[in-house]
């Protein structure tokens, strides 16, 4: 299978590190005109230069930041809603402000962008909207309930949008990574297991946390999720819409997609 995204413009939010950066790289390798996004202008510029892409620094976790991004990039063919935040915190200690902040950054950011770009895709008869959700959306982690809540919400949003654009040539899907070896996870490892080397931190996390159910017996790497995202963005995935597609290493114990 040869994926060719030549002539397609792809926006990947939160793409200066981790899954976002890997996705931007994979989409660019498939021929897409990729736009890198993040809050830090220097990191955006450096990542864009490294990938041979364009860069737009804007905080899509806010309405003003999203408006600025749209002003600079009025139209895209592929939208990858990857921006997200997470933290571990006991559920009864999460204040209102954090519930609302997680919802706005993880869910509303993608809603705002899809609300702008998707109707333009339907007008052309082709487009891909991809929400980077998580296996936490179908099995909420006890230590991150507010995060899991936002990932569940993304599933409902994507399905509803897919139904709205039925028959248009535009697909809307979610990709659900499992625990992935990103910068944020490495920082969490340092909090959980200070002083241990990364390999030992990974082993401890696999043994002690929800990742213990992974059939891979390791954390996922960003490029592995990016491969799924690139496929979903392709012409070859034209019959896949309104779906939640796992890239979780078999962590979710189900035979249903």
Catalytic residues: 147
Measured over the CA atoms of residue 135, residue 139, residue 141 and residue 145, the dihedral's sign is positive
Q: How far apart are the first and last CA of the chain?
A: 22
Query: What's the CA gap between 50 and 81, in Å, rounded?
Result: 21
d(CA 158, CA 57): 25
- Which residue is it, tokens 């989409």? 27
Query: Measuring CA to CA, which residue among 119, 132, 250, 230 is closest to residue 184?
Result: 132
Quick one: which H or E segment has residue 216?
A: none
The tokens for 145 are: 């309930």
Phi, psi dihedral angles at 71 (to 5 degrees):
-60, -40
CB-based burial label for 192 (10 Å; 0-12, 13-18, 19+): middle
């Amino acid at each position: 299978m040869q994926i060719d995204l030549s002539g397609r413009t792809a926006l990947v939010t939160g793409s200066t590190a981790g899954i976002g950066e890997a996705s931007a790289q994979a989409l660019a390798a498939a021929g897409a005109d990729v736009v890198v996004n993040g809050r830090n202008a220097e990191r955006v510029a450096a990542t864009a230069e490294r990938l041979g892409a364009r860069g737009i620094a804007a905080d899509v976790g806010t309405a003003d930041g999203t408006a600025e991004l749209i002003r600079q990039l009025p139209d895209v063919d592929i939208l990858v809603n990857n921006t997200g935040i997470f933290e571990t915190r006991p559920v009864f200690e999460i204040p209102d402000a954090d519930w609302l902040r997680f919802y706005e950054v993880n869910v509303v950011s993608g809603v705002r962008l899809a609300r702008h770009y998707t109707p333009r895709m339907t007008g052309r008869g082709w487009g891909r909207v991809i929400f980077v959700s998580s296996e936490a959306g179908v099995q909420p982690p006890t230590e991150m309930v507010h995060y899991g809540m936002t990932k569940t919400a993304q599933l409902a949003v994507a399905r509803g949008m897919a139904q709205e654009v039925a028959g248009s040539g535009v697909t809307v899907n979610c990709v659900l990574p499992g625990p992935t070896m990103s910068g944020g996870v490495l920082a969490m490892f340092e909090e959980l297991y200070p002083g241990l080397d990364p390999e030992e931190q990974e082993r401890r996390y696999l043994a002690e946390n929800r990742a213990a159910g992974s059939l891979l017996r390791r954390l996922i790497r960003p490029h592995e999720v990016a491969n799924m995202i690139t496929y979903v963005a392709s012409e070859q995935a034209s019959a896949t819409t309104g779906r939640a597609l796992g890239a979780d290493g078999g962590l979710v114990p189900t035979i249903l997609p």
